[in-house]
Chains A and B, each alone.
Chain A
């Protein structure tokens, strides 16, 4: 549904007029009081500006020449779309306001990209003026996806092979990450005042948004709606969990999370309000993207959008083991609960140190792949073996009931020159096929598939989906179907038998 907005730009049938309107609007918005920089993307616009041609005057170069020089410098430094380096990025993420003001760009400088974002605003506004809503665009290998959230537009342009549904979800999560930092309060301000500069509120958070983007590249958490648990012996995990539950209770917290890098070692949450996996994703990016948390105990406001997008919780953050990035988070609704949470955290650390559970978590976290399942460690009948000795190249197993997944290590694929960034989009496409996520079909989507298989010259891929488990696996392209099916059956049985070590109890 198209939400009511301010009146859009006057519709013109001519592209140059459309762009001219966009630039004039971007210039008035960007070069405003307090704004020190601006940029103009389309240098041809300057040709009609008096004084833009010719050398500097006696007083120095005119403003138009300065703009041209700034744009050229921005291009050289890779900060805007005139830079070849910028254009070659596989994915771009943009956030802009309804008035075309830049808020964020994954690559480059928002100021230097003001003109481009103004064009995005103009295109989206044109569609809205027609009573329609722009969803996605395809050009060559690129898919460009548009999302409107309150007074913000979010745009993704990607040549990663990820389907539209996944890019759409990533934009949604990018918006959630902004809410995680600001709550949705800023949107109300922005709706009232279109000139409000949201960028100032997001100063210093590039690391957090970068951490989120990195998770999209190498981690299927987003499209699986699940988190990755740290693999560790069941008994030690249990002692971690009990200690964490005690800390949550004694600290008066809502949630307790023990992270080891990007994995969850333990999780304590109420049965009535379980922590949504996407909130956990945002929390993880928030912590990993803020290096200052490693320096000392920290007490920071943080919003969990699925819990309550309009209010902050208060997070006690402390790195119990810096090398392994083992980090304790206790989340409370009380802004004055730091001392109580800190006390509870000290008792937690003492207890898990004594039991050896913390060291076990640290060891697991320090292993290559952060404790992911190595294919070479699997039983042979379940596809185990060294790279080249087994047809199984990689797998991903989701436990829907616990919203957790297990990922194999990347050795076998790395031996074939494939990086996680190449393979995760492949899983995303298979997942979208299994769950029939196709933006082109308007009717209610049919039920998910139960089995999916494809073979190409690169891989043989298979997926099984049920209420109890989901398995996605990649095999050598020459693998026989019979062998693939048998390995999958035994792999599922192995995972089920090892789930105490693999999954966090809920």
Chain B
């Protein structure tokens, strides 16, 4: 099925526990599974164990089981919709050392977000005329694509999820990342084409949720757009993507909108000036090698209001020693635990490790600031906290007080 070696450390599964109730038919629960080479017995064993554990933990807590830690493997479970669960089983020896179960859960949440974006509600998809088989044909490519691009890149697992926008940018650049041939998911840059107008549209053929016509490919007739689902929407919307340099414009339009090539050219011309300006400004601001660098500090700031993350450049973070990085990760985790999911929580954590490193974390609601301070001026709790507060006042004014 794929043309690259299957990364054995991971198994990824989406299943519906309402199905496969008859003995011998347990495999009917499976909506998608990665790797596809896994035997039927191994698939059903995983799901059976996950279900058994869910039932066991329900004796103690109404919340569903979300993680299982074993000596060699870690399991993450995400109840993404009623009766539908995403399950990830990973070899702990193959994961980056700082990977937490919370990070794995976040990856599964991102995966469901992508599934929803592309296919809408899974429950509704299963109720459609094509039934579960039709749903499997749509879901499996997305799961496989997600696994290959995200989980195979082990370093991404703890920190990032695949960005739909990144895939489109890759397609727009004309240098799509190599991917498996025959891939049918919109996550793959190979499934997109760039029109003369500059808009990106899905390639014709048997791609996920799309139909095309030879006429539209040759510049005649309406252009069929990609479909996407917004949360809570009762029907899909159309998606248009226009790239120019380092800028990518995403337009969400009514599904009934069916522009022809001439209309797209006009639309592109209307945006061209602003796109050029935006591309230039983006390149200037984000393209600098030292973008985000603050002399004397290494930091990450998650801005909940702007939905952005600003952090020291990777080259600067690489100068931190391993213990400092571990301490930064630890204080970040402790601050999250202390906040206990409270959106209004105000938390401050400071810890001094060996030999001379402070890790500081601040949380104000969903705003998070993490600062490892190595060999910084002063070595006391008061001095380190004061340095962190000064940084926060200058770089994130009004956020942490």
Interface stretch of the complex, out of B67-75, B165-173, B251-259, B282-290: B67-75
Shortest A44–chain B CB gap in Å is 12
Per-residue CB proximity of A122-139 to B under 8 Å, as 1/0?
A: 110011001111111111
Q: Is B60 an interface residue (CB 8 A)?
A: yes
Interface stretch of the complex, out of A13-21, A97-105, A351-359, A363-371: A13-21
Q: Give the chain B neighbours of A11 by CB distance below 8 A.
A: 45
- Given contact pairs A2-B71, A139-B66, A455-B347, A450 touches B382 in the complex (Cβ within 8 A): no
Shortest A502–chain B CB gap in Å is 26
* CB-based nearest A residue for B48: A13
Q: Give the chain A neighbours of B62 by CB distance below 8 A.
A: 140
A137 and B337 alpha carbons, distance in the complex (Å): 17
Q: Give the chain A neighbours of B61 by CB distance below 8 A.
A: 139-142, 159
Q: Is A334 an interface residue (CB 8 A)?
A: no
Interface stretch of the complex, out of B93-101, B174-182, B264-272, B368-376: B93-101
Interface centre among B61, B65, B334 (most CB of A within 10 A): B61
Assess whether B52 is in contact with A119, with CB atoms less than 8 Å apart.
yes
Interface stretch of the complex, out of B122-130, B232-240, B292-300, B351-359: B351-359
Q: A13-B41, A138-B66, A159-B61 are in contact. List 12 more A-B contacts (CB 8 A).
A: A2-B71, A16-B23, A18-B52, A132-B70, A132-B73, A139-B61, A142-B61, A157-B60, A441-B98, A449-B352, A450-B353, A482-B382
Q: Is B396 an interface residue (CB 8 A)?
A: no
Would you mind naming 28 contact pairs between A and B with Cβ atoms under 8 Å apart? A14-B20, A15-B48, A17-B23, A116-B59, A120-B56, A123-B49, A130-B45, A131-B72, A132-B72, A137-B53, A138-B65, A138-B67, A139-B64, A433-B351, A441-B97, A446-B323, A446-B326, A449-B352, A452-B350, A452-B351, A453-B351, A454-B335, A454-B338, A454-B348, A456-B345, A457-B346, A462-B381, A481-B382
Q: Is A292 an interface residue (CB 8 A)?
A: no
A144 and B68 alpha carbons, distance in the complex (Å): 9
- Given contact pairs A159-B61, A485-B382, A439 touches B351 in the complex (Cβ within 8 A): no
Shortest A350–chain B CB gap in Å is 53
Q: Is B92 an interface residue (CB 8 A)?
A: yes
Assess whether B48 is in contact with A81, with CB atoms less than 8 Å apart.
no
Q: Which 7 A-B pairs have the closest CB atoms?
A: A13-B44, A140-B63, A139-B57, A140-B61, A15-B51, A451-B352, A133-B71
Assess whether B65 is in contact with A139, with CB atoms less than 8 Å apart.
yes
Q: Is B6 an interface residue (CB 8 A)?
A: no
Tell me which of A138, A142, A429 contacts B101 (CB under 8 A).
Answer: A138
A132 and B89 alpha carbons, distance in the complex (Å): 12
Shortest A12–chain B CB gap in Å is 6
Assess whether A440 is in contact with B353, with CB atoms less than 8 Å apart.
no
Assess whether B52 is in contact with A122, with CB atoms less than 8 Å apart.
yes
Q: Give the chain B neighbours of A485 by CB distance below 8 A.
A: 380-382
Q: Is B26 an interface residue (CB 8 A)?
A: yes
A120 and B56 alpha carbons, distance in the complex (Å): 8
Assess whether A449 is in contact with B351, with CB atoms less than 8 Å apart.
yes
Q: Give the chain B neighbours of A451 by CB distance below 8 A.
A: 350-352, 381
* CB-based nearest B residue for A92: B60
A122 and B335 alpha carbons, distance in the complex (Å): 36
Assess whether B334 is in contact with A19, with CB atoms less than 8 Å apart.
no
Q: Give the chain B neighbours of A12 by CB distance below 8 A.
A: 45, 48
Q: Give the chain A neighbours of B72 by CB distance below 8 A.
A: 131-133
Tell me which of B43, B64, B326 contacts A13 (CB under 8 A).
Answer: B43
A456 and B362 alpha carbons, distance in the complex (Å): 10
Assess whether B52 is in contact with A15, with CB atoms less than 8 Å apart.
yes
Per-residue CB proximity of A276-316 to B under 8 Å, as 1/0?
A: 00000000000000000000000000000000000000000
Assess whether B385 is in contact with A456, with CB atoms less than 8 Å apart.
no
Q: Is A3 an interface residue (CB 8 A)?
A: no
Per-residue CB proximity of A438-477 to B under 8 Å, as 1/0?
A: 1111110011011111111100001000000000000000
Q: Is B210 an interface residue (CB 8 A)?
A: no
Q: Is B330 an interface residue (CB 8 A)?
A: yes
Q: Give the chain B neighbours of A136 by CB distance below 8 A.
A: 68-69
Q: Give the chain A neighbours of B41 by CB distance below 8 A.
A: 13
A53 and B278 alpha carbons, distance in the complex (Å): 74
Shortest A145–chain B CB gap in Å is 10
Q: Give the chain B neighbours of A132 by CB distance below 8 A.
A: 70-73
Q: Is A436 an interface residue (CB 8 A)?
A: yes
Assess whether A481 is in contact with B385, with CB atoms less than 8 Å apart.
yes
Q: Is A496 an interface residue (CB 8 A)?
A: no
Shortest B99–chain A CB gap in Å is 8
Assess whether B44 is in contact with A14, with CB atoms less than 8 Å apart.
yes
Tell me which of B43, B70, B93, B339 contacts A127 (CB under 8 A).
Answer: B70
Task: Name the interface size band of chain B.
Answer: 35 or more
Interface centre among A120, A127, A135, A440 (most CB of B within 10 A): A440
Shortest B98–chain A CB gap in Å is 8
Tell me which of B48, B60, B353 contacts A449 (CB under 8 A).
Answer: B353
Q: Give the chain A neighbours of B281 by CB distance below 8 A.
A: none
Assess whether A13 is in contact with B45, with CB atoms less than 8 Å apart.
yes
Q: Give the chain B neighbours of A14 by CB distance below 8 A.
A: 20, 23, 26, 44, 48
Q: Is A87 an interface residue (CB 8 A)?
A: yes
A133 and B68 alpha carbons, distance in the complex (Å): 11
Per-residue CB proximity of A17-43 to B under 8 Å, as 1/0?
A: 111000000000000000000000000
- Given contact pairs A133-B71, A135-B70, A433-B334, A440 touches B382 in the complex (Cβ within 8 A): no
Q: Is B310 an interface residue (CB 8 A)?
A: no
Shortest B45–chain A CB gap in Å is 5
Q: Is B55 an interface residue (CB 8 A)?
A: yes
A130 and B42 alpha carbons, distance in the complex (Å): 10
A138 and B66 alpha carbons, distance in the complex (Å): 6
* CB-based nearest B residue for A429: B337
* CB-based nearest A residue for B63: A140
Assess whether A87 is in contact with B69, with CB atoms less than 8 Å apart.
no
Within 8 A of B (CB), among A413-442: 429, 433, 436, 438-442
Tell me which of A92, A139, A439 contacts B69 (CB under 8 A).
Answer: A439
A318 and B68 alpha carbons, distance in the complex (Å): 48
A109 and B380 alpha carbons, distance in the complex (Å): 53
Within 8 A of A (CB), among B65-109: 65-74, 92-93, 97-101
Assess whether A456 is in contact with B338, with CB atoms less than 8 Å apart.
yes
- Given contact pairs A144-B60, A433-B330, A447 touches B45 in the complex (Cβ within 8 A): no
Shortest A277–chain B CB gap in Å is 26
Assess whether A137 is in contact with B381, with CB atoms less than 8 Å apart.
no
A121 and B55 alpha carbons, distance in the complex (Å): 14
Q: Give the chain A neighbours of B27 by CB distance below 8 A.
A: 13
A11 and B72 alpha carbons, distance in the complex (Å): 19
Q: Give the chain A neighbours of B70 by CB distance below 8 A.
A: 127, 132-135
Shortest B31–chain A CB gap in Å is 15
Shortest A52–chain B CB gap in Å is 20
Assess whether A87 is in contact with B347, with CB atoms less than 8 Å apart.
no
A70 and B37 alpha carbons, distance in the complex (Å): 48
Q: Give the chain B neighbours of A137 by CB distance below 8 A.
A: 53, 57, 65, 67-69
Interface centre among A13, A133, A141 (most CB of B within 10 A): A13
Q: Give the chain A neighbours of B380 by CB distance below 8 A.
A: 485
- Given contact pairs A19-B52, A453-B349, A446 touches B327 in the complex (Cβ within 8 A): yes
